[in-house]
Structures are given as C-alpha cells and as structure tokens.
Chains A and B, each alone.
Chain A
Amino acid sequence: MKFKDKLKDSKFLITAELYPPKGTDTSAFLRRAASLKSAGAVDAVNVTDNQRASMRAGALAMCSILLKNGIEPILQLTSRDRNRIALQTELLSANILGVENVLIISGDHPRFGEYPNVKMVYDLDTVQLIKTTQILESGYDLAGKKLNGIPKFCVGAAINPSADPQELQIAMFRKKVLAGAEFFQTQIIFDILKFKGFFNRIKMKGIKVIAGVPLLTSPKFMGFLQSLPGVEIPKETQNRINSAADPLAEGIEICAQTIKELRKFADGVHIIAIGKEEYIPTILKKSLEA
C-alpha cells in the first residue's frame, strides 16, 4: 500500500528521515537506509533538503536511490534555495523518477547554516508552493502553460507544536490544509501531554498529523537541541540522559516510551535519529512491548 493510501487508513504511521551525503559517497546513506528497510515497519522515509541551510547532495537523487532500494521516500522541498521555475522543475523531476510524496517547508534560515550571507530566494512561500503542486496536478504550470503529462503528488507540510502563540500556528495548519496539504509532520516534541492538547485542538478529519520524535543520543546532542528556539526538554528526560551510564541506551528507552504513548492517540510518529537510524528497529520493537 502506498503512503498516500495509508493516509486514508487508520494505521499508526511511522516515518523516519535521512540526510544526503556531503560529497558523493553514498555508502553511509545506503547503510542507514538498509537498516530502515530491515525494520519493515517504516512507511516512508523523508530525505532532507540542505537542512540547517548547509550544502549537501540533492534530496531528489537520494529519494530516487531509496525507491530503487524498495523504500518509499518523502522528498523534502524548501522554497529557500530555488525560484518558482526551479521549484516546478524539481516537482516534475520528482514525478518522473517516481517520487510522489513531497514535504513542503520553508527551510532553516541561512543564519544557522554554513552560508550565513547566502542570497535567499523565497520566490514562493510554503502556502504558495503547496498550491503550486495542485496547479501542476491540474495540468498547467504557474505561467498558465499546458503540461505534457500531468504529475501527481501526496503533499505534506510542517507544523511546530512549540510555536508560541500556538493559536497562530494552528491558523497556519488550517491555511495549509486549505492550500492542499494532505498530511503533516511536526517539529520535535518531548512533552506528550502538551502535544496531546495541541493534537486535539488541530484534529481534522482526513488529515494525519505525524509527531516528530528525536532519538536523544548524548548529553551533548540534547544540549544542542535545547539551544534551538522553542525546544523545551522536560526536566525528567534531561535527568535521565545526564545521569545515564549509557545515554544512547537511555535515549532509545525514552524514544520507545514516547512512541508507545503516541500510539494511544496520535496518527503516527516521525523518528529523527540523525545518523543513528540503525537503532530504529529496536526502538519500534520496544514501543510495542507491554
């Protein structure tokens, strides 16, 4: 069953994400992909688009590799680095390569990346880019020209439950749905109760919201996450990672417990393991234990 069909199903969805290599060596990417495939339980895998506004190989090339390896990809597409010509090109190219799932995001601001003074594009914003996928699906491009061969997409968008005021983020959720978003993946969450409140506020029939959950691997990585705007890690979680003899093992436990709780009410989970995808099968197995 395709990811798009699963969105209409009641199944608890599981997605993960991989980042393209910085360079041409795909071996680590392939190794991580293989561990996700062996899990068998991952419904789709996002490939990030120059995350943290830093240069890497193209997400679409890596999505194509995932497809060849029997993994359904979700192409992340930011409007930061491409104008409307290049964005439409990327969307058509994705379809030609068999990639239909696309997560439309604005992307990290260059201030946080390797090229802080780079010229940003933002010729289209996220709402406009979501709308663009619908326009292309109608058989025309943004210039009103007829397409020879019509693409099909399954369009996702991002939402941040920690954004404050939350009311405005919820308004954006609705706006993105009206523009054509079919599913959502959230920024990382730590506090299940808080997320539950948010989830219940935005609940909308037919729109799945997949909760982003990170794998905490070390006190250092946890410190990095805490330095990001809006990231609040509960004291208890912090203590568990900081006092653990094996922080990675503890992180796996925390991640599994979070997923276990999410399974009770949420639509799915998006596991962000940043290079430690080999532990995702274990995490998922643990999340199903009584």
Chain B
Amino acid sequence: MILTSKKPQEEVLASLQDSGTIFVIGCASCAARSKTGDQKAVDDMKELLLSKGKQVAGTLVLPAACNLQTVEKYLAKNEDFAKADAVLILACGTGVQTVGDIFPQKTIAAGLNSICISTSGSQNKRFCSVCGHCVLSFTQGLCQKTRCPKGLVNGPCGGFVGGKCEVDDKQDCVWVLIYEKLKKHGKADEFIKSFISPL
C-alpha cells in the first residue's frame, strides 16, 4: 500500500486561500488504512475548514481515489461536487492526479504527503520504489534498491556494524538480511559469483 501522512494544517489552508466552495474527498483504500483519508479524517478536515470560515460543498470517501472508473462514477453525478470550485483530496499522489485529470476545471489541493510504498503497520519503512526493474528473485524477496540507503544492487558497502546500517543504526542493513536468507537457501556461493551487470 501507499503510505501517506497529513500535511500541516497551515499548508492545506494556504493552498485553499483563494478557493470558494470546497469539496473534500477521502479514499477508503490505502489512505484509510493510514487513517489519513478515512471518514474521520474527512470529517475532521471539514470541521477545520468550517472553523476557518471556508464553505464546504460536501464530502465523500471514494472506494479508491486512484481508480478512474470509480472516481468518474462517484463524482460525475454528485451535485455537491458539481457546485464546488475546489477539491481537497485526502489520498495519495495518484489519487489526487486521477481526480485532477477527470475534472480539469476544478482547483486541486492535496491534503496528504505520499511517503512510500510499504506494508501496513511498517512505520514508514520503504519496501518498493516502483522502479520498473524488479530484482526480488535475486535477493530472496528483499528490495535492496529501496531498503539500502545507497541503493547498492550487488552487495553492501563496508558500513554495516552489528548487522545495522551506518546511515541509521536502528535499521537493519538490508544486505545482511538478504545474505542470511540466501545462506539459508544454500545460495551464499551464488551471491559471490553472480551479479547484476552494468550492461
């Protein structure tokens, strides 16, 4: 899932400074699991906007803000949405862009920061960079491109101490984890002999 965090209130309000009527959108997928785009987050945002003298045309939590068909289906005939000048979207960057693409006439404001792709409850540990060149078979399923701070693809630098990364001594060196897994699968020798080519 895509992990998101709430933008500071001042930043959200500043982005809506010149907007008239606002419609607030949440997302029941990833952002709801991060508690940044669920019904409560949407309600809280509505309260905040009203308390600052803003007009709120309506709110809606979409099943998935990144799904083109869903966004169209839920919003195209929504009368409150139609009345709004601006849309504040509590979803990841893809959700924001999906809404923005379908409704180019609306002023778009993002309420969240997209942090990373990870597993739920992982406390912002990056799992995937969506780089388009997946090498997880090479590493027993641990992404070194994402989880090594230098993104070294063939093995670690010399900066691991007690199995921890020199950049953050609270984080495991992903290469130590990979090596241990490879060893368990009898692939330590293969690790030494094979590498991802620069070609």
Interface of A with B (CB < 8 Å)? 80, 84, 106, 109, 111, 120, 122, 124-129, 131-132, 135, 142, 144, 158-160, 162-165, 167-169, 171-172, 174-175, 178-179, 187, 229-230
Tell me if B149 and A171 are in contact (CB < 8 A): no
A125: contacting residue among B154, B163, B192, CB under 8 A: B154
Tell me if B153 and A125 are in contact (CB < 8 A): yes
Tell me if A142 and B152 are in contact (CB < 8 A): no
Q: A163-B158, A168-B176 are in contact. Are A142 and B199 (CB under 8 A)?
A: yes
Which residues of chain A come closer than 8 Å to B167, judged between CB atoms?
109, 111
Which residues of chain B come closer than 8 Å to A122, judged between CB atoms?
150-152
Tell me if A165 and B176 are in contact (CB < 8 A): yes
B163: contacting residue among A158, A164, A178, CB under 8 A: A164
Q: A125-B152, A127-B154, A129-B198 are in contact. Are A171 and B161 (CB under 8 A)?
A: no
Tell me if B176 and A229 are in contact (CB < 8 A): no
Which residues of chain B come closer than 8 Å to A126, judged between CB atoms?
152, 154, 157
Which residues of chain B come closer than 8 Å to A120, judged between CB atoms?
150-151
Tell me if B169 and A135 are in contact (CB < 8 A): no
Cβ of B179 under 8 Å from chain A: yes
Interface of B with A (CB < 8 Å)? 149-163, 166-167, 169, 175-176, 179, 188, 191-193, 195-199
Tell me if A171 and B151 are in contact (CB < 8 A): no
B195: contacting residue among A128, A132, A187, CB under 8 A: A128
In the complex, how many angstroms separate the beta carbon of B129 from the nearest chain A beta carbon?
12
Tell me if B166 and A109 are in contact (CB < 8 A): yes
| Complex CA–CA separation, A263 to B153 (angstroms) | 36
B150: contacting residue among A106, A132, A162, CB under 8 A: A106
Which residues of chain A come closer than 8 Å to B195, judged between CB atoms?
127-128, 131, 175, 179
Which residues of chain B come closer than 8 Å to A171, judged between CB atoms?
155, 179, 188, 191-192
Q: A132-B198, A230-B166 are in contact. Are A168 and B160 (CB under 8 A)?
A: yes
In the complex, how many angstroms separate the beta carbon of B187 from the nearest chain A beta carbon?
11
In the complex, how many angstroms separate the beta carbon of A209 from the nearest chain B beta carbon?
13
Given A164-B163, A171-B155, 9 more pairs with CB closer than 8 A? A126-B152, A126-B157, A163-B160, A165-B160, A165-B176, A168-B156, A168-B176, A172-B158, A175-B191
Which residues of chain B come closer than 8 Å to A167, judged between CB atoms?
179
Tell me if A164 and B161 are in contact (CB < 8 A): yes
Tell me if B169 and A229 are in contact (CB < 8 A): yes
Kindly list the 5 A-B residue pairs having the minimum CB-CB distance in the complex, ordered from nearest: A160-B158, A128-B198, A127-B154, A229-B166, A125-B152
Which residues of chain A come closer than 8 Å to B161, judged between CB atoms?
162-164, 229-230
| Complex CA–CA separation, A106 to B160 (angstroms) | 13
Of the listed residues A109, A142, A144, A159, the one surrounded by the most CB atoms of chain B closer than 10 A to its CB is A109
| Complex CA–CA separation, A163 to B166 (angstroms) | 10
A168: contacting residue among B151, B175, B198, CB under 8 A: B175
| Complex CA–CA separation, A289 to B113 (angstroms) | 64
In the complex, how many angstroms separate the beta carbon of A175 from the nearest chain B beta carbon?
5
In the complex, how many angstroms separate the beta carbon of B142 from the nearest chain A beta carbon?
14
Q: A165-B163, A230-B161 are in contact. Are A127 and B155 (CB under 8 A)?
A: yes
Tell me if B199 and A135 are in contact (CB < 8 A): yes
Which residues of chain B come closer than 8 Å to A230, judged between CB atoms?
158-159, 161, 166
In the complex, how many angstroms separate the beta carbon of A85 from the nearest chain B beta carbon?
12
Which residues of chain B come closer than 8 Å to A131, judged between CB atoms?
195, 197-198
Q: A128-B195, A132-B198, A229-B166 are in contact. Are A163 and B154 (CB under 8 A)?
A: no
Which residues of chain B come closer than 8 Å to A144, judged between CB atoms?
199
A128: contacting residue among B176, B179, B196, CB under 8 A: B196
Which residues of chain A come closer than 8 Å to B154, judged between CB atoms?
125-128, 175
What are 14 inter-chain pairs, A to B, with CB distance below 8 A?
Answer: A125-B150, A127-B154, A127-B195, A128-B197, A132-B198, A160-B159, A162-B158, A162-B161, A164-B160, A172-B155, A179-B195, A187-B158, A229-B161, A230-B166
| Complex CA–CA separation, A159 to B193 (angstroms) | 18
| Complex CA–CA separation, A172 to B152 (angstroms) | 12
| Complex CA–CA separation, A187 to B196 (angstroms) | 25
